[in-house]
Amino acid sequence: MSDPVWDPLHLPSQLGKTFVVTGGNAGIGYFTSEQLAGAGARVIVASRSAEKTAVALASIRSRVPGPELEHVRLDLTSLASVRSAAAAIRELGPIDGLVNNAGLVISPRRRTLTEDGLEILVGGNALGHFALTAQVFPALAPGGRVVGLGSMSTRMVRLDPSDLMSERTYRPFRAYAFSKHAVHGFAFELDRRLRSAGDSRRSLLAHPGFALSALADPRPDVTDQAPGRRFAEKALFTLVGQGKDRGAWPSVRAMTDPNAESGTFFGPSRLLLTGIPAPLAPVTSSASPEFGAHLWALAEEKTGVEFRIPDPPVVEPVET
């Protein structure tokens, strides 16, 4: 089990390790990248905008002495972009961890499709990460970790696996919650398959709590908001929310806690909203083996990417 005593301000050294953070140029992903780099890791930021990423990397460099930083272009709503990004990451590997952080948060008012014909929330937030993980997996070092970014929305919206892509009914928040149910289902099913194969790599899940930019330690040009919005968020949510810098803590713990077991779900310890990250119980429906198997098959079908966990090599006894 994970050590219940965890200090997010004094992380264990990650010197010599390489981590990939999707969406690592903004929001929670930015702070995840900054904190991992601050612990000594080489960080590969996988994100769409080269311009915004350059600003984010400059911000990290202004706060972390001599960080090793890379950028790979990634658009999770394009399977062609995912393939290209995965190839680039493999070239930069081996890697010690993949933080599947990026995703759409604001849902379209009407059902929208990716260029590959997938509902955009499930397609980008979940299936894009499934395809990326599958194609990056050969570069993940023994003992390496995959961390998914979950959400409290899974506690608010009941899962309907038969309409995961919102083909019968589309409601914006429902579709977002379904995408996060899929993120949860993938993380737990990957854990089961790794364990079954005797693989030393680990799959974990994290959720950031109620994390807002206005409550975060400012990063010029990275966390900037309109003054009115920043004032309103601070006035309304200071007592129940936390900054996105703290919202990164569960993902960072999942990636760096040496005692964190595969299948652990980390989130804020105070009412699931704020505080030091601690292990949590997931929603039963999206953590179930039945949903995991259903999701895995659906993901392979919709992305055209087969994801097989290889069995460990058979070691023949040595004759003496």
Strands (E), 168-273: 202-206, 211-212, 242-243, 265-270
CA 269 to chain centre: 19
- Please pick, among 6, 19, 30, 176, the residue that the annotation labels catalytic: 176
Determine contact, residues 131/188, Cβ cutoff 8 Å: no
Write out the DSSP string of 26-66: SHHHHHHHHHHHHTT-EEEEEES-HHHHHHHHHHHHHHSSS
CA distance 142 to 166: 37
- Residues paired with 69 in a beta bridge: 43
Active site annotation includes 170 = no
Determine contact, residues 96/255, Cβ cutoff 8 Å: no
Overall size of the chain counted in residues: 320
Residues that are catalytic:
176
